[in-house]
Structure 1
Amino acid sequence: MRWDHLRLDAESGPEPGAAQPLIERGAVTRTIDTPEFRGMTFFEIRARTVVNKVPAASRVPFRWTINPYRGCSHACVYCFARKTHEYLDMDAGADFDSRIVVKVNAAERVRAELAAPRWRGEHIAMGTNVDCYQRAEGRYRLMPGVLAALRDAANPFSILTKGSLILRDLPLLQEAAARTEVGAAVSVGSVDTDLWKQVEPGTPPPRRRLEVCAALNDAGVGCGVLMGPVMPYLSDSPAQLEAAVRQIADAGATSVSAITLHLRPGAREWFLAWLREHRPDLVVPYARLYRGGAYAPRDYQEAISRRVRDLAAAYGIGGRARHRPAPAPPPARPHQLSLL
């Protein structure tokens, strides 16, 4: 899939039969010399469409998405969306982290597309490819216009984020929730701060994300937690899972679900390069675990999901607690393997 909706013509249009540019020739390219944006480049484009249909082969429970940005300054070493930057003739590594495409007309396109006669008011998911509340949103402020359009159309939507900037838009979320179904979730795969600094260097700390979850729920906007990804040998020990679920429960999350790390092309190469540098002891175990492709073995994925589900029930997430689990043993030491 070549993301044709991002191929924008030059003003005079291309020659018949010629390939259209991946980024429009009239795009504005900006570099901003402030500490939070140093080393980053922004490509400001006017997208043809912003409400995008998800390919049928995707393993996701939704059909439509809005992604105001391409690339992400969160710089998560495992991000599955890295491959999409190659469709823009950029690399899936450093370019994905630092060369961000900004759809500056996102709000006006959303409003127009939701008003089209063919639109049927289906649920729209946001933050499912790259984070719509990444650092760039503080400058470009695209989400207030997008949320206002969804609110005015009473169109159901959900947001997944690792950013704290979502709280800026809390009044809009409350207004939308009064008119339609609104869901929110924060992504917290682990509460290990040492691991966070290494694998998610551009994100707020896990504790701050859980504070966001609590604030959204206190304001009447239901917020759950996606424990994603759980990383084999790095964040999957019984003690690590129990610590994460306990803090998620303390934040008042409405739900918690786990997703195990998957390593699709693009993300796989970048993550394994990180592994060779920071955890060379895990290179061979990862090669064995993921020898079948992008996904860990099904029984391992199911074991993680079952353990998190049981912990969630024990801590009363989404209902009353059956019991509080006994303290788990301490996490495995860094040189030890912890594949459950």
Structure 2
Amino acid sequence: MPSLATLKQTALAPSLGAPEADALMSASGVRVADKRVRGRGAGLNMSGRFEVTTREVFDDGWSSLEELAPFKTEVQVEKPRTVITRNQSPDLSFDRSINPYRGCEHGCVYCFARPTHAYMGLSAGVDFEARLFAKPDAPRLLERELSKPGYKVQPIAIGTNTDPYQPVEKQWRIMRQLLEVLEAAGHPVGIVTKSALVMRDIDILSRMASKGLARVALSVTTLDRKLARTMEPRAATPERRLEAMRALSEAGIPVSVMAAPVIPGLNDHELERILDSAKAAGADAAGYVMLRLPIEVSPLFRDWLLRHYPDRYRHVMSLVRSMRGGKDYDAEFSKRMRGTGPYAWQIARRFELTAKRLGLNMRKAPLRTDHFVAPNGEGVQLSLL
């Protein structure tokens, strides 16, 4: 018997374009049984785009699919040669970042980082949430890179790809060790997270903030707990994120709120409430990012939307495409974060007016770089001179 989601797809197919209807129907071939992905964001686990073979789920009549166990989170050790990643993107306010983990257990269905799992031969779907990679050598490598002659200090961003405070950080504690290295070196850091676990490191962050070396941004997608649970199944609840903002602010740590992503027809009506709530919790700055659906993320999001909000599917995707030149996504610099067109303009004006009314982004002091002292610890490579 076809699944409920497949029946919904079939019912909607006549009103969709042929390519899209075909794509949605083919997605059912890689959909994972609900009981196997309970607590996960993605419902698909399609093959990575670099693989020479593809896989398709089907029932051969022997009930073999029912015998498969639920996905469990697995963590493998990754041993990179360097830990600081550089970028030259004009859309970003930083030129270097660190990612302690590859993949993210939070399971946010819209996560733009999902396609990076393809480089590991894995799926951007459930694999991204369940098959993680940790970098326990990251603190040592960071210490070594900061000690190199000619290193020029600029703020390091952490959490811009996958969340450094995702659940596995409780056991691995890589993020805390990175902060210890940065504090010892007097190096500035900006953190983005949607986890209340950041409160664990208030002791380090408050000391760094007192010297102008730290700022934290909390991502708040929605204040609707039910929507958050469906869309970001293993992330902190909206209430806990606001609680984290308040705790950080009271500890003297500058806090920003990221209303991200803004999803038209789903959470866009909450923009003002999110900024109001964040301001009340102590945030002094704010930003927003429109929904981004690159490569594999688009079918994952569309499948999720069809399963959970089928009545809004056409409206949401129509608005998304109105901002992306008729496509699901436009990766062009200066457009990918905000979109274009009347709808994108309206969101930008609403954000600007609300931020101005609340006094956000008025006194955002830059992080300082004059406290930096090159490390000289165990992880530092000694000179041959």
1:306 alignment partner AA:
R
- Percent identity over the alignment is 35
Gaps of 5+ in 2: 1-69, 331-338, 364-385
Q: Tell me if the contact between 2:71 and 2:130 (Cα under 8 Å) persists in the aligned partners.
A: no
Q: Tell me if the contact between 2:285 and 2:362 (Cα under 8 Å) persists in the aligned partners.
A: no
Instruction: For 1:62-81, list aligned pairs within 5 A.
Output: 62-81=94-113
1:246 alignment partner AA:
D
Distance 1:259 1:278 in 2: 23
Of the candidates 345, 348, 370, which is equivalent to residue 305 of structure 1?
Answer: 348
Task: Indicate yes or no: 2:294 matched with 1:259.
Answer: no
Partner of residue 284, structure 1? 314
Per-residue deviation at 1:229? 0.7
Partner of residue 78, structure 2? 45
Per-residue deviation at 1:309? 2.2
Distance 1:298 1:64 in 2: 31
Please, what TM-score do these two structures have when normalized by structure 2?
0.69
Distance 2:100 2:273 in 1: 34
Partner of residue 12, structure 1? none
Per-residue deviation at 1:151? 1.2
Change (3 A) 1:191 1:69: same
Task: Indicate yes or no: 2:271 matched with 1:241.
Answer: yes
Distance 1:40 1:270 in 2: 19
Distance 1:285 1:96 in 2: 28
Deviations 1:90-140 (A, max 9, x none): 000000011110001111111111111132112110100000000010010
* SS at 1:80 equivalent: coil
Partner of residue 48, structure 2? none
* SS at 1:185 equivalent: strand
Task: Indicate yes or no: 2:306 matched with 1:271.
Answer: no
Distance 2:250 2:264 in 1: 33
Distance 1:135 1:73 in 2: 7
- Which structure has the larger Rg? 2
Partner of residue 294, structure 1? 329
Task: Indicate yes or no: 2:145 matched with 1:107.
Answer: no
Deviations 1:225-264 (A, max 9, x none): 0100111100112xx2232222112112111222111111
Distance 2:100 2:267 in 1: 31
Q: What is the aligned-residue RMSD (CA, Å)?
A: 2.0
Range 66-75 or range 253-262, more displaced = 253-262
Distance 1:154 1:183 in 2: 14
Per-residue deviation at 1:284? 2.6
* Consecutive aligned runs of 4 or more in structure 1 exceeding 6 Å deviation: none
Gaps of 5+ in 1: 1-36, 321-340
Task: Indicate yes or no: 2:283 matched with 1:250.
Answer: no
Per-residue deviation at 1:193? 1.4
Partner of residue 260, structure 2? 228
Per-residue deviation at 1:314? 2.2
Distance 1:127 1:300 in 2: 28
1:301 alignment partner AA:
A
Deviations 1:272-302 (A, max 9, x none): 1101211223333344332334154343223
Distance 2:313 2:90 in 1: 28
Partner of residue 218, structure 2? 186
Partner of residue 93, structure 1? 125
Q: Tell me if the contact between 1:258 and 1:304 (Cα under 8 Å) persists in the aligned partners.
A: no
1:70 alignment partner AA:
R
Range 253-262 or range 93-102, more displaced = 253-262
* SS at 1:265 equivalent: coil
Task: Indicate yes or no: 2:160 matched with 1:117.
Answer: no
